[in-house]
Amino acid sequence: MNTVFESGRPGNYFLGDPYQVVDATIYKSVWENCKVIRGSFAVAIDPEKKDIDFFAVVQVASGNYSDNSDRIYQAESGSIGIVPESLWKKTKEDIEDAGLGTILSIKDQIVLEVDDDWIVVHADNTQIVISTKIVL
């Protein structure tokens, strides 16, 4: 497994298709500049204060993917990622009501690991395992 994202910053994180929650300018700048995406990206929240945050993306085929708790992740953009709340363009309630992904409330640490068959998220004491095989 390769670690592509790690954060010790407490807060809410979105797990799912980043296209659903990040601003179009952020999304477009990452996708236009990368052919194969698997990594962590820095985004300026407030350039004047030099405040940045990071999100992680793993490229997959467009489709639906399931995790070890039978949750479904719709990867309309062909990606699954972790996005901190500071970069969301939607509210937590809107995300949950629309079923866009999973909201993780992190107290200590979140880690995203990947290999060819799995995306594994370690969120505090919870492990979420997403198969990269499309669910029909």
At residue 101, φ and ψ (nearest 5 deg) are 175, -160
Q: In the chain, what percentage of residues exceed pLDDT 90?
A: 44
Q: Span 95-111, mean pLDDT?
A: 94
Q: Give 3-state DSSP helix, strand, coil % of the chain, rounded to 5.
A: 20, 50, 30
Report which of 40, 36, 38, 31 is spatially closest to residue 6, judged by C-alpha positions: 40
**How many Å apart are CA 2 and CA 120, to the nearest integer?**
10
Is the predicted pLDDT of residue 123 greater than 60, yes or no? yes
Q: Span 78-95, mean pLDDT?
A: 90
Is the predicted pLDDT of residue 129 greater than 70, yes or no? yes
State the amino acid at position 21 in one-letter form. V
Q: What is the pLDDT of residue 7?
A: 85
Q: Span 60-89, mean pLDDT?
A: 90
Report which of 20, 33, 120 is spatially closest to residue 77, judged by C-alpha positions: 20
Is the predicted pLDDT of residue 5 greater than 60, yes or no? yes
**How many Å apart are CA 52 and CA 95, to the nearest integer?**
23
Return the structure tokens found at 131. 């198969």
